[in-house]
Chains A and B, each alone.
Chain A
């Protein structure tokens, strides 16, 4: 099946800093989503982005499907941005369920 690798696995930043999270995937995808999992375990949709660029406030994402990677940018980090960020994909030939990467654990210090 399709493989999803996220980097870095852990990231500690000061409030106000910018960050870039990366997601590499091993095959063509029909779906790519970025999620933020909060400390209570809730998965919050950030972007549906199998290709192209999207922005939502301080967050933006870019997926280059031909090179099989996606980037999530967080600008002017706030402590509430802390948590785990997951990239998840649906491969071109598989079932519609998402395959998740192992996530990036982000800690924003005040």
Chain B
């Protein structure tokens, strides 16, 4: 199992604030991902990275941005939070191993924007 950490676990913040959600993994995986999940719904890919200095947008349009300066770290930033950003954000990582590429997920950050 991969060890993936996300902070904060819960965040309540006012409209217009800048926020950064942290994601770190200790397994040295090259690939990392961010997914967004609204309550009671499925997850949607919003960003992914194949390695350092690589970032791509996912299937779901998002106003957030990401960076990948270090292999183990993949933070997500919202420059100006809005109530529509209220959701759960889950980070994942993966690496091909013996022909299998399992994605492992962190515990998630629940964001509430007032």
Contact = CB atoms under 8 A, between A and B. Distances in A.
Interface of A: 1, 30-31, 33, 35, 40-43, 45, 48, 86, 88, 90, 95-103
A98 B43 contact: yes
Interface of B: 1, 31, 33, 35, 37, 41-45, 48, 50, 56, 58-59, 88, 90, 92, 94, 100-105, 107-108, 110
A31 B101 contact: yes
Contacts of B50: 96
A76 to B, nearest CB: 24
Nearest to B57: A95
B107 A99 contact: no
Nearest to A49: B100
A42 B58 contact: no
B108 A98 contact: no
| Among A88, A95, A98, A100: residue with most chain B CB under 10 A | A98
A103 to B, nearest CB: 6
